[in-house]
Amino acid sequence: MTDERVHRRTYAVDMAAPADVVYGLIADTTQWPLFVPPSIHVERLDFDGICDRFQMWVTANGTVKSWLSHRTLDPRARRIDFHHEVPAAPAASLGGSWTVQALGADRSRLTLDHDFTVAGDRPEDVQWVEQATDTNSRAELARLKECAERWTRLESLLLSFEESVRVKGPAELVYDFLYGIGDWPGRVPHVLRADVAEEQTGVQIVRMDTVSAAGTAQTTEAVRLCFPHALRIVHKQTATPVLLEAHTGEWSVIPDETGVTAVAQHNVLLREEAIEPVLGRGTGIAEARTHVRELLGAQSSTVLNLAKQRAESAIRTL
């Protein structure tokens, strides 16, 4: 027997969007980093259309947490049940459900239920989980409401693309350059400052000042998850430029028989109401897509080519 008590929380929001649209937003966990603010990265492990198993990284009370999660999807009932197979401390167990109720042709209610236990029911640990659950759940529902209510334009506000270069040099040296973001000021022209904290191994918190080719300066913050054995760095901006509602991506280094391909991949959700204030009166989504694609593409290509230069220079030196 234990002293653990089940704690329950319920959150709900009404949306001016069809129930099937809302269900679609919560059903695909791979898109959560764009639609759910606390979500940093989702690594799907198994999915058969009904059962979804994945590793998730999120921000919670100012820290980065990770857990292994399992979900069961019921699209007919528009219900998704979930539980954490390996919950993040201090939670001993955590589960719940998402349900979508149709309130009319273009209105629906999204409800999120949580239940959790804490080992020994220690008050300070219960308070920590309650605070994280409350803060994250409210942020999740607010962003999902915003996205769902733009359902007729949402696809045009989403943008994914990548840049790549071929490198005739060691994959590890390419990765080391991408990992060493704290050394980019003075090496990468558009990076003015990069403050990096890595309190957890492989989890970088980066605050960066950059400048565009037009001379516009901006400050961003990001979480970077570094996987050196896989030669991957997954990242999400937690403080974005005004034009971007959300921005995620990945640096990857892919060796093959003839060399290495270094890839920068980006996923963006545009902030529609910022388009005219940033780009000028009369501009629209199409112009914003082009602007973001060119800006991020050019910056990524610069970084990739500098990583290529470093790796190939090391080979020539040897």
Q: Closest by alpha carbon to 65, among 203, 198, 228, 195?
A: 203
Same domain, 130 and 241: no
Nearest-Å Rg of the Cα atoms of the chain is: 21
Phi-psi region of 231 (alpha: psi -120 to 50; beta: other; left: phi over 0): left
Q: Other C-beta atoms within 10 Å of 186: how many?
A: 8
What's the rounded Cα separation, in Å, for the pair 153 and 143? 15
As given in the structure block, the two tokens for residue 20 are 């099937």
Q: Which of 120, 148, 176 is the last residue of a domain?
A: 148
What's the rounded Cα separation, in Å, for the pair 139 and 210? 27
Domain, as residue range, for 124:
7-148
Per-residue pLDDT of the chain (318 residues; tens, 9 = 90+): 345 799 999 999 999 999 999 999 999 999 999 999 999 999 999 999 999 999 999 999 999 999 999 999 999 999 999 999 999 999 999 999 999 999 999 999 999 999 999 988 899 999 999 999 999 999 999 999 999 999 999 999 999 999 999 999 999 999 999 999 999 999 999 999 999 999 999 999 999 999 987 788 899 999 999 999 999 999 999 999 999 999 999 999 999 998 999 999 999 999 999 999 999 999 999 999 999 999 999 999 999 999 999 999 986 654
What's the rounded Cα separation, in Å, for the pair 108 and 144? 12
Same domain, 159 and 308: yes
pTM score, whole prediction: 0.94
Length of the chain: 318
What's the rounded Cα separation, in Å, for the pair 22 and 144? 8
**Amino acid (1-letter code) at residue 99:** T
Same domain, 25 and 71: yes
**Structural domain count, the chain:** 2
> Any idea what the CATH number is for the domain that residue 249 is in?
3.30.530.20
Same domain, 228 and 297: yes
Same domain, 122 and 77: yes
